[in-house]
Amino acid sequence: MEQILRVNLSNGQILTENASDEDLENYIGGMGIATAIFTREVSPTVGPYDQDNLLIFSVGPFCGTAVPFCSRHFIMAKSPLTNILGESSSGGFWGRELKYAGFSHIIIKGICENPIYLWIKDGKAGLKDASDLWGKGVFETQDILKAKFGDNRIKVALIGPAGENLVKYASIMNDKDRAAGRCGLGAVMGSKKLKAIVVQGSNRPEIRDKGALNNAVKKLRELEKDNPVLDIHKQYGTTLGIDNMPHIGDVPIKNFTMSRWPGTKKIGGYALMEREVRTHACFNCPVGCAKEIKYQGKWVRWPEYETLAMMGSNLMVDNLDEIIKWNVKINDLGMDTISLGSTIAMFFEAIERNLIDFDKLKLNLKHTKLWGETETINKLINIIAYREGIGNDLAEGVKYFCEKYHLPDELATHGKGLEVPAHEPRANNMTALDYVTSPRGAYHCYMPMDISSGMYIKEEIGIIDIIDRFSKERRIAELVKIVQDSSEAYSANGGCIFGFKWIPQITPWIECLNAITGRNYSVESWTKAGESIFNLKREYNMKCGLTKEDDKIGSKFFTPISKGATRKNIPPIQELLPIYYKLRGWDSNGRPNMKE
């Protein structure tokens, strides 16, 4: 049973209820239940900052149990960046604490007149004034709240100044430096005047069959030991992508205009590991890819691959000290480094091409150099977070900025309004198709491209071979659909996608789910539930006004890069989309038949 906490910020009402058996059967739990509730209760006409926009925090059945890789919590709301269903997730310990406090979901509605925070402890909840916290950064706010509660063990999800100022790619942070970064849900939280959610819990979740769960977990642990890639990830985390992926052209460089650059060697995993580093793992994670690094005498979170790429190579920055500093600063402000880096890169390219007059911007900079100029980037980070000057327009994201300043389509590096992340669509046709069809917009965590390198094998659902990354065959569309559906099912359980990628079998995960819940999922019914979740999101987005014309990314990604490992590839999206729609049972306009 998944318990729901409903909070109405407009009138202060707090209620509890249970998720329906029908929803649990159809959508597994966690994010799947959030999708069902959100699409039922939030009208497509509701705006992101309207009081009827629900902000939903969810954890899946795995969270807080012995199942490895499953500390993640998921957040959902109408996105201010895309104006469709937005979602994001984060790791750490906040999700486990919510489950220990007795809840799988928090559904927040309404808008408070003054800043507040929500506290939850072992089945109880309340609202408290947060006026003294408003305007403060993430780190200071968490320290103040821990002092107020007199307990350093409390877990806090919160926004920084960027969320308060409604930057449309503001993050919701937790555990100080963990980020639910995508889709601007921090701005939704800021619009509701909700500064933080404090959770304390002491009750472990109910397990229907502990013996069966222990057996299934043992299988996962054995499979985990057999994967050599996992050992590499244990040492370097995601950062090694900067070192290794340029050889396939998968790292963004100078706003996705190049695929080779010597500077990547200075900012990758090897360069980071030359420094003083220690492991910091999420709850019940056997890998610990989230490292901490000694910087200016303090232990800070090191930048992940997406940050190194979007704030590093994409901006032609090869100064690792600056990227580490920005990572700390951006986390404290509460912004998504992917959208931020993409927006700044778009801005730089527009200026370089004389599409915007740099001199009229009055940035008060000593230098007019753009690419790689750390002072300029540092200034932009500040004015975006506080919406000062040109930062006010840049805080709206790539789509809005391009439209306002009438920039050409090749600068519109977004999908459905969400900035393209740090995996080059021209480097793998599955990446491109995945980006244009993902429900939230250009999103990278399904990761079908890993099939091309043999790192994604799932025999039970037909992923048994390596496929050429430039293939134009029907199999590309088949594999993208399979990965999307199975990933949705797995996410509804509450897992980190890396764990799902590394374990070559699905059955042990399903055995864990059945042992925890007492249900009887099979591989077929489990993946079918994932497909239902995916289709539910698609149907809602089309009610919001989305059409098949929105299944695209900027024209930049259909212009070949002359040199490098993308090999002048142009993703055959227009050929693949009709095949993909047909495989999904959608009509020729990309609309699902939900009656089925």
Which CATH number goes with the domain that contains 259? 1.10.569.10
For residue 14, count other CB atoms closer than 10 A to its CB.
15
End-to-end CA distance of the chain: 27
Q: Say if residue 437 is in the same domain as residue 481.
A: yes
CA angle at 152 for the pair 101 and 273, rounded to the nearest 5°? 105
pLDDT score, position 87:
98
What b/e string do you get for 228-257 counting C-beta neighbours within 10 Å, with b at 16 or more?
eebeebebbbbbbbbbbbbebbbbbbbbbb
What b/e string do you get for 148-162 counting C-beta neighbours within 10 Å, with b at 16 or more?
eeeeeebbbbbbbbb
Domain residues for 154? 3-200
pLDDT score, position 225:
85
pLDDT score, position 367:
61
Q: Quick check: is 508 in a domain?
A: no
pLDDT score, position 317:
98
Q: Quick check: is 263 in a domain?
A: yes
Q: Say if residue 328 is in the same domain as residue 459.
A: no
414, 445, 475 - which closes a domain: 414
pTM, rounded to two decimals: 0.98
User: Which tokens in the block code for residue 265?
Assistant: 């060697």
- Measured over all CA atoms, what is the biggest interatomic distance in the chain, rounded to whole angstroms? 69
Q: Quick check: is 595 in a domain?
A: no
Q: Say if residue 435 is in the same domain as residue 533.
A: yes
Nearest to 347 by CA among 356, 338, 336, 359: 356
CATH of the domain at 40: 3.60.9.10
200, 217, 250 - which closes a domain: 200
Q: Say if residue 343 is in the same domain as residue 391.
A: yes
Tell me if 132 sits within 8 A of 140, measured CB to CB: no
Q: Say if residue 190 is in the same domain as residue 316.
A: no
Q: Quick check: is 107 in a domain?
A: yes
Tell me if 119 sits within 8 A of 134, measured CB to CB: no
Helix (H) or strand (E) holding 243: helix 240-244
Nearest to 384 by CA among 318, 336, 443: 336
Q: Quick check: is 126 in a domain?
A: yes
Q: Say if residue 346 is in the same domain as residue 436.
A: no
What are φ and ψ of residue 567, in 5° steps? 55, 40
**Cα 551 off chain centre by:** 19
pLDDT score, position 595:
61
Q: Say if residue 181 is in the same domain as residue 280.
A: no
Distance CA 254, CA 342 (A): 10
Beta strands in 94-235 (DSSP E): 105-109, 116-121, 124-129, 155-158, 172-174, 178-180, 194-200
What are φ and ψ of residue 300, in 5° steps? -130, 160
pLDDT score, position 594:
67
Q: Quick check: is 211 in a domain?
A: no
pLDDT score, position 230:
86
Q: Quick check: is 513 in a domain?
A: no
Tell me if 394 sits within 8 A of 416, measured CB to CB: no
**Spans in the chain with pLDDT lower than 70:** 366-368, 594-596
What are φ and ψ of residue 415, in 5° steps? -125, 115
What b/e string do you get for 174-188 counting C-beta neighbours within 10 Å, with b at 16 or more?
bbbbbbbbbbbbbbb
User: Which tokens in the block code for residue 593?
Assistant: 């038949």
Q: What is the pLDDT of residues 147-194, one digit of tens each?
A: 999 999 999 999 999 999 999 999 999 999 999 999 999 999 999 999
The residue behind tokens 């402890």 is: 121
156, 183, 200 - which closes a domain: 200
Residues written for the chain: 596
Q: Say if residue 400 is in the same domain as residue 437.
A: no
Average pLDDT over all residues of the chain: 96
Q: What is the pLDDT of residues 303-312, one digit of tens each?
A: 999 999 999 9
Distance CA 159, CA 88 (A): 14
DSSP state of 208: S
Q: Say if residue 484 is in the same domain as residue 410.
A: no
The residue behind tokens 């985990």 is: 224
Q: Say if residue 448 is in the same domain as residue 345.
A: no
Distance CA 369, CA 315 (A): 12
Q: Quick check: is 512 in a domain?
A: no
CATH of the domain at 535: 1.10.599.10
Q: Say if residue 172 is in the same domain as residue 297.
A: no
Per 3-state DSSP, the chain is made up of helix, strand and coil in percentages (nearest 5) of 45, 15, 40
- How many distinct structural domains can be found in the chain? 3
Nearest to 432 by CA among 470, 464, 397, 463: 470
Nearest to 576 by CA among 501, 497, 475, 489: 475
Q: Say if residue 320 is in the same domain as residue 351.
A: yes
In a 3-state reduction of DSSP, which class is residue 57?
A: strand
